[in-house]
Amino acid sequence: MRTPKEFDRTSPTIYGCELEVCPRCHQPLSEAHYVNGRKTVQTMTQVLTIGYRPKVCVNAACPGPSVTWPSATWQRIAPKGCTYGYDVIARIGWERQKGRERFEAIQAHVKPWVDISESHVRNLYHLQYLPLVACHERQHLAELKQISQLTGLSLGFDGLMPIGGEPQLWVVRELQTGWTLRSGWLNRQDEDAFVEFLQPIADLGLRVTALMSDKQAALVSAAAIVFPRAWHGFCQVHYFKNAAEPVADADEAMKKTLRQAVRSDLSAVLRPKSPENTGVLTVTGLLPSPVAVPNAASPTPEETATPPGEFQSSTSTNAEREGIIQDVWFSGNCRDTPPHLAVISGKQAIAF
């Protein structure tokens, strides 16, 4: 047998129906002798066990079917069939939409006040909070009509990128107020589908003066059919993003071509090739590399010296450059060698 939780053992509070006469025939109502809607509800502040005593119409000639009228106070505590209060649902929806929290984090935030699991948090958001928000927005219909008569409506169309071949979610918002007028999944994104999706807005008689969307050809043509007198503008963020993509691609291709050209033309200058260059720069340590000794037939610096008034050839210039590099390199690498172990003389290191 399932053991009841501690908050299931609270004393019940029974509410009575607030109506005195039948809303249809205006005859007196009679209170029933039983209790309906008994349940335990968790709120952010307390745990309640509630129920209501309904009323019925005693008029046999009442034009409507026989119904029982519940208590309005009982209905304001929690939705029908739900054991969590409206304040818990509002807290979950606020953290999800405004704080952009994950369901796991929301469950951890409300856990000190409400005994609830992560799956219940997800269900309350999708099955309770979102329908309540939709019902709340429908209460603004009279105000929306008033705005359309005074200034006209400005509508924004936006759709989420579909995944694979799945339907695409589209939303229509009134830009001045931020209210969502229509949202739905479209199996196709052609002109007929967009006309069917937008036509209920025009059927309400609302005056639409401006439209904002991306530059989808089917959407532009459908909007012109449904709202022929409205100005249609395109989203500047998407417009500049789409315009910048080919520029960025061309810039990346230009930089790649430039790098290849520089490496091809200046590789000899940047990385001069030499038969003696093996790619190994380290010659010190416990196992030093041997130092190349110049051949006896090689010309001396005095023989390769350029007479006054003449330009040096490329061969002599390279030989002089290599000599300078070797002298500097040996002096730098042998800086920490004791004087009695090595003597630097030109390109040779003589160890005693």
Confidence (pLDDT) at 64: 74
Domains of the chain, with CATH numbers?
6-138 (no CATH), 141-160+167-239 (3.30.420.10), 279-352 (no CATH)
For the ranges 3-7, 148-152, 235-239, the maximum mean pLDDT occurs at 148-152
Confidence (pLDDT) at 315: 58
- Among 81, 87, 77, smallest CA distance to 13 is for 77
Span 283-302, mean pLDDT? Answer: 58
**Residue 347 to residue 292: CA distance in whole angstroms:** 8
Span 221-242, mean pLDDT? Answer: 85
Share of the chain above pLDDT 90, in %: 35
Neighbour-count burial for 277-309, b at 16+ CB within 10 Å, e otherwise? eeeeeeeeeeeeeeeeeeeeeeeeeeeeeeeee
β-pairing, 208-213 with 180-186?
unpaired
Span 331-345, mean pLDDT? Answer: 47
Amino acid at 132: L
Supply the pTM of this predicted model: 0.52
Phi first, then psi: give them for residue 49, nearest 5 degrees: -110, 115
Average pLDDT, the chain: 80
Q: How far apart are the first and last CA of the chain?
A: 97
Structure tokens at 144: 């929306």
**Residue 257 to residue 263: CA distance in whole angstroms:** 10
**What is the tens place of the pLDDT at every residue in 34-60?**
999 999 999 999 999 999 999 998 888
Enclosing H/E stretch for 23: none
- Among 102, 33, 40, 43, smallest CA distance to 68 is for 33
Residue 131 has pLDDT above 70, yes or no: yes
**Residue 209 to residue 223: CA distance in whole angstroms:** 12
Confidence (pLDDT) at 339: 46
- Among 333, 318, 336, smallest CA distance to 277 is for 318
Structure tokens at 261: 């050209």
Residue 224 has pLDDT above 90, yes or no: yes
Pick the residue with more confidence: 157 or 335? Answer: 157
Pick the residue with more confidence: 249 or 336? Answer: 249
Residues 101/63, Cβ–Cβ less than 8 Å:
no
Residue 78: pLDDT band (50, 70, 90) is very high
Span 72-100, mean pLDDT? Answer: 93
Pick the residue with more confidence: 11 or 6? Answer: 11
Residue 337: pLDDT band (50, 70, 90) is very low
Residue 61: pLDDT band (50, 70, 90) is confident
Confidence (pLDDT) at 317: 61
Span 301-326, mean pLDDT? Answer: 57
Q: Which residue has the tokens 């939409």?
A: 97
* DSSP-assigned letter for residue 129: I
Structure tokens at 280: 């190994």
Confidence (pLDDT) at 137: 77
Number of CB atoms found within 10 A of residue 320's CB = 15
Span 334-341, mean pLDDT? Answer: 47
Helical packing angle, 191-203 and 217-226, nearest 10°: 30
Confidence (pLDDT) at 14: 93
- Among 172, 145, 143, 152, smallest CA distance to 229 is for 152
Q: What's the gap between Cα 243 and its chain centre?
A: 22
